[in-house]
Every structure is written in C-alpha cells, then in structure tokens.
Amino acid sequence: MLHSRRLLHSALLFAVVSAGAARADQVVFGFEQPAFTVGNINGQQGWSKSGNYDAVVSNGAALGGDQSLRISSGITSGSFGDQTFTQHLATPAGESSIAGALDTFEASWSFKSATGGLQDGLFISVSADNGAGARMTWVGMGDDAVNGLNLGFYDWSLDGGFQYQQVATHLDYATWHSVDLTVSFLDGPGNDVVKLVLDGTTVATGTTWEDFYRFGPTSDGGGGGLSPVNSLLFRAGGAAAPATLDHGFYIDNVSLASQTPEPGTAALAVGALLVVGSLRRRKRA
C-alpha cells in the first residue's frame, strides 16, 4: 500500500509539475516604480500608445502598491494601431496554423472607477490582439446613466455576426473589480472558446472573432485571415466623453500569458488516474 501511495504521489506530482511547466510565456504589470514612472504609458516596459489618448501611469489609486494605469475615453478615435497596448508576448497564442503559437491565451486585470461616481459615456474596450488592432475578443468596460458601471462582451458567429452580451450592470463604483479572460484556440472554424470571469464568477462564455477574420465582410475589416494574439489592447473608440478626461478607470494587476495545449495536461492527469486504477486492480488481485 505504501508503495502504491508513493507511485500515486509520483504520478500526480508529474501531472502537476507538467501542468506548471505548460505556462510558456507570461508578463505581469503592477505599474510600480522603478519600472514605471507617473506619466504617459507610451514606451514604458514595452507598452505603446502613440496616439493622443488619455492613458497614463498614475499614483491616484492602486490595487497593489502605489501606482496603476489610468485610462479614459476623453479622447477617442476610429483607429487601432496607435491605441494603448501592453507589451507583446514573445510567444503568441492562436491556432496551429499560426507559426509558433500556443493554443491558450489567459489575461486578467482589475479596474475601478477613478471618480467613485457616474461618468456618463465612459467606455474602454479590452481585446486579445496582435498588437496592431486585429481583435480576437472584446470586453467592454463602461459607465452610463442607464447601466451604471457595467461590463459587456462581443463575439462573432457566421449565422449572427457580432453578438453582444451585457454581462454586468450597476457595479460598485467604490471597489476594484477583477476580470479574467481565458481564450482556447481550437483548430478549425466556429469552435474557439472564450470564458469571461468577473469578480470570480463566470459571466459569459462565447467564441472568438475567428470566423469574422475567416468569413466576415472585407468591407467591415473581416476576411483577412487569422492573426497571432500577443497582447491586450485597451481601446478608446466610439463617441468621446470629454468630461472623463483625467479620470475614467484605474487599471491594475494586468497579466497575460500564452500556454501550451491544455489537452496535454488533461492527458497527463488521465494518465495518473490510469496508474492509480492499475495499482488498485493489482492490489485486489
């Protein structure tokens, strides 16, 4: 029995260690000194924001430490590549048709109202992106008189085009809210899986924009093929809300990672269970 337990431990340890090793590439940002200094986010630790948007490292509030990213929709535009992007992962995520890509993208961030009250028209979308605006997912953080502080989600299907889900309304203005995004890229159309978690609760499950880039109308930016995902885009688009300038959202604890196939980890876990089953059968015999 002792021998069996040792083998079981070894098998499970192997599975756990292998799962841990599966994380291939990750970057984490707390926006703290000395890596970050208060002011324009552009050029700090690989972040970019070449356009004239209101996105700065701030010491106004922080979830951890003293500093965070503050971003508003005081200035918006219809463009993409000049908006606010995280540092790019060295190893991208995507389907196997994309060179060097791993099949899972995980991202998380926390956000908080910078004023603690209504900022009508405040809106920032966050997307898994290729660093140039080829958005594969879309999560919208907004504030308005109807829905209050709220979160929305868009995916795209061949049947219905862009599909919107309002996943949360009237969030607490006074507290930080955490968002976790898991994107599983599965080879072939119509099957990628996106899971959106808000404050620890799954609020949306959908798919990526993969089929928009496969089959979507070129007039709308679709049909151009799949791009690697290596970054998060924080985008100030749509109608500007000038009153939110110098306010908006605080964003902290931004993390993004690309990972090796989850099925490999699952297979190892199944392997460990098979070992256990085999030992149990042997013991009975």
* Least distance CB 205 / Ca ion (angstroms): 15
- Quick check: 191 binds Ca ion (CB under 5 A)? yes
Please report the DSSP string for 167-205 in residue order: EE-S--TTS-EEEEEEEE--SSTT--EEEEEETTEEEEE
Torsion of CA 100, 49, 117, 68, to 10 degrees: 70
Which stretches of the chain are assigned E, i.e. beta strand?
23-29, 39-40, 55-58, 68-71, 84-85, 104-113, 122-129, 138-144, 148-157, 161-168, 177-184, 193-198, 201-206, 231-235, 249-259
Under rule CB under 5 A, which residues in 202-261 are in contact with Ca ion? 210
Residue with Cβ nearer Ca ion (143 or 211): 211
Q: How far apart are CA 23 and CA 210, in angstroms?
A: 23
Q: How far apart are CA 265 and CA 284, in angstroms?
A: 29
Around 221, how many Cα atoms within 13 Å sit in the side-chain half-sphere?
Answer: 14
Residue 89 DSSP class: P
Residue sitting closest to Ca ion (CB): 192
* Least distance CB 192 / Ca ion (angstroms): 4
- Quick check: 129 binds Ca ion (CB under 5 A)? no
Binding part of the chain for Ca ion, among 35-43, 179-187, 219-227, 245-253 by CB under 5 A, reads 179-187
- Contact letters for Ca ion, residues 147-176 (x by CB under 5 A): ------------------------------
Applying CB under 5 A, among 24, 186, 273, 276 the residue interacting with Ca ion is 186
* Least distance CB 189 / Ca ion (angstroms): 6
- Quick check: 192 binds Ca ion (CB under 5 A)? yes
- Quick check: 269 binds Ca ion (CB under 5 A)? no
Residue with Cβ nearer Ca ion (189 or 217): 189
- Quick check: 193 binds Ca ion (CB under 5 A)? no
Q: How far apart are CA 219 and CA 7, in angstroms?
A: 59
- Quick check: 91 binds Ca ion (CB under 5 A)? no
For Ca ion, the binding residues (CB under 5 A) are 186, 191-192, 210
